[in-house]
Each structure stands twice: as C-alpha cells, then as structure tokens.
Amino acid sequence: MDSWIEQHQGKAYDENGNWASEGQLDQVTLTSWLQDSYYELTPPKSTGKEHFTLERLQPNPEAITAAPADIQRTLCELTAITITESLARHYPDTDEIYVCGGGAYNRLLMKRINSLAKLPTQSTEVLGTPPEWVEALGFAWLAKSCLEGTALDTRAITGATNTCLLGAIHPGKHKP
C-alpha cells in the first residue's frame, strides 16, 4: 500500500486509509493476487518488500484498467484478507487481535480486519505500547536476553530446532 501511494501520489503512506476509502474493490485483481503461493506456506514464515514488489503486483502495468485509488483499496483488502485467513487457518483459538506498525493507524484496514475476523481488533496502543515501538522493543528484549546470556526458544516462530543464545556482543576498536 505504501509503495503504491508513493508511486501515485508522492506520499509515504495512506493516512487513515483515506485514499483507499475513495476507491472501489477490484475483485478480479484481488482474486489474482490471492493466488500467490506465499499465502499457502505454513508459519513460521516471513517476507517483505523483496517479494511483494510493485513489479510483482503489476507485471503488465498496461493490463491494469482500475483507477489507482481502486488498486489502493484492493491492496488494503488483500492485506486484511490474508491476515484474517492466516489467523483462522493457523491460530483458530485467537480471540482478539492487536495490530502494530503503520497499519494500526489505517482506519480502513483496521475496520476490514475487524469485520473479516469478527474479533475485537485494536492497536497495541491500548496495551500501553505505541504501534511504532513494537519492533524496537522486540530488538531491545533480544539484546537484553543476549547480554544476560539467556537462551531463547524460538522454535515456534522461526522453525529453529533448539533453544539458543541470539546475537553476539563485539567490542569496537578504541581509538586513542
């Protein structure tokens, strides 16, 4: 969503999901995007901009007939669907959803996740953690665990086969 709005409006993100809210869902494009094999992988899994590029979403830009706002709306729906379907498939006992990162500020995305999941959906802000802090807090916790020599069990989230100490501390070179 961010790359699309940057390309079409020169903005870093879709504030509150306002631009996506102006668009109409493009069901044909959505159905095509949902065929991506990544969505069939079982957790733990991770990806990012290296997989979901604008070029991948629009391999033939001339074939896209929808208005840019319609594509933004469709990207928002894709995000909401893939989040809620993954939770339902892999974590069926989920009874509430807390969203972090920039998506927590996108009102349309939050509304769609809530509607599709039929579960209470809130920002991590209600837990006392601003959504933009979650990743930094995670790395701080990993650093603290490393400094304390605490081995972590990441088998359920990374596919590791045993517990291990994550990270290493390397002193820098001191200059006189």
pTM beyond 0.95: no
Domain spans of the chain?
2-126, 130-169
Q: Which amino acid is at 110?
A: M
Tokens representing residue 67 in the block: 């208005």
**pLDDT tens per residue across span 128-145:** 999 999 999 999 999 999
pLDDT of residue 101: 95
| Percentage of residues in the chain having pLDDT higher than 70 | 97
**pLDDT tens per residue across span 42-74:** 887 888 888 888 888 776 777 678 999 999 999
* pLDDT surpassing 90 at residue 170: no
CATH of domain 2-126: 3.30.420.40
| H/E element, 97 | strand 97-99
pLDDT of residue 46: 81
DSSP per-residue string spanning 114-146: HHHHTS-EEEGGGGT--GGGHHHHHHHHHHHHH
Label residues 1-36 b or e (16+ Cβ within 10 Å = b).
beebbeeeeeeeebeebebbbebeebeebbeebeeb
